[in-house]
């Protein structure tokens, strides 16, 4: 892959940046678990059968609920409570450990570390999720944050902080740490921001799922389905 060639050519200099959710991690198992638990606690048997495959159209809960067998009316009846239940669990260390790897991500990340460039996970997750995030990195066989290997994990200070603003704020930090060679993110807004802020870098979009905002990709952005090569 061209990104790894660039990293090898950097002779130990430069940065590679990776988002986590829906970029190197597939969080559909986490999503499905939350829906199943809601179904079990609220006596909605259809939702107890929720599977990761029901989240193939994005993060919204309505599609998976209907795919599990709820009617439109039943979903509307539960929508507010289900969203609240989801919000109380999704952004936690305990639940993010259910995530699995996006195809090829562990191998690609280790190859990136092997080039000796700095590898940075830049995520919208907040600091309270650090422990669960690191456990999931280990579970999936991905490089762990360690000064000796040049791997870092940058997280929002708090859950309340806006993801878009936080990601943009990290651009200044990245510029101080070295030359950005490539950035990978599933959110069109975020990968577009990398394309604009770092014209020398490759901006790579993971065509997995995202928040659902209708944002066209910047012309410089390359889109890939996974990391297998």
> What confidence score (pLDDT) does residue 57 get?
67
What's the pLDDT score for residue 211?
77
pLDDT in tens, 177-205: 999 999 999 999 999 999 999 999 999 99
Strand 118-126 with 151-156, pairing: parallel
Candidate CATH numbers 3.40.50.1000, 2.60.40.10, 3.30.420.40, 3.30.1300.10; the one for domain 2-27+100-224? 3.40.50.1000
pLDDT at 132: 97
Contact 57, 209 (CB under 8 A): yes
Read off the pLDDT of residues 130-151 as tens digits, 9 standing for 90 and up.
999 999 999 999 999 998 789 9
The alpha carbons of the chain give a radius of gyration, in whole angstroms, of 18
SS in 3 state form for 41-83?
A: HHCCHHHHHCCHHHHCCCCCCHHHHHHCCCCHHHHHHHHHHHH
Which of 149, 108, 145 lies closest to 125, judged by CA? 145
**Alpha-carbon span 96 to 89, nearest angstrom:** 9
3-state secondary structure of 192: helix
Angle 177-182-188 from CA coordinates, rounded to 5°: 115
Q: Could you report the average pLDDT of every consecutive run of 10 residues in the chain (229 residues)? A: 91 93 96 98 96 84 94 96 97 97 97 96 98 97 91 97 96 96 97 97 93 89 94
Outline where the chain has alpha helix (H): 2-9, 28-42, 62-67, 72-90, 93-96, 105-114, 130-139, 163-177, 188-197
Contacts of residue 70, Cβ cutoff 8 Å, sequence gap at least 6: 44, 46, 47, 78
């Amino acid at each position: 892959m061209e990104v790894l060639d660039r990293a090898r050519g950097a002779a130990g200099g430069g940065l590679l940046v990776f988002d986590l959710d829906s970029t190197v991690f597939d969080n559909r198992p986490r999503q499905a678990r939350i829906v199943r638990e809601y179904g079990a606690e609220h006596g909605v048997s259809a939702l107890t059968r929720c599977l990761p495959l029901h989240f193939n159209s994005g993060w919204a809960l309505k599609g998976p609920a209907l795919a599990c067998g709820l009617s439109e009316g039943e979903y509307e009846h539960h929508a507010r409570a289900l969203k609240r239940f989801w919000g109380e669990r999704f952004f936690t260390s305990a639940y993010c450990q259910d995530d699995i790897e996006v195809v090829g991500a562990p191998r690609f990340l280790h190859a990136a570390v092997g080039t000796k460039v700095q590898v940075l996970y830049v995520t919208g997750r907040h600091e309270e999720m650090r422990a669960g995030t690191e456990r999931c990195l280990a579970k999936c066989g991905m490089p762990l944050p360690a000064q000796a290997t040049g791997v870092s994990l940058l997280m929002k200070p708090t859950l309340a902080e806006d993801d878009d603003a936080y990601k943009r704020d990290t651009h200044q930090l990245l510029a101080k740490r070295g030359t950005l060679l490539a950035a990978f993110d599933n959110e069109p807004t975020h990968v577009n921001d990398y394309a604009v802020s770092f014209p020398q870098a490759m901006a790579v979009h993971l065509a997995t799922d995202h928040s659902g905002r209708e944002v066209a990709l910047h012309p410089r952005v390359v889109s890939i389905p996974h990391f297998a090569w």
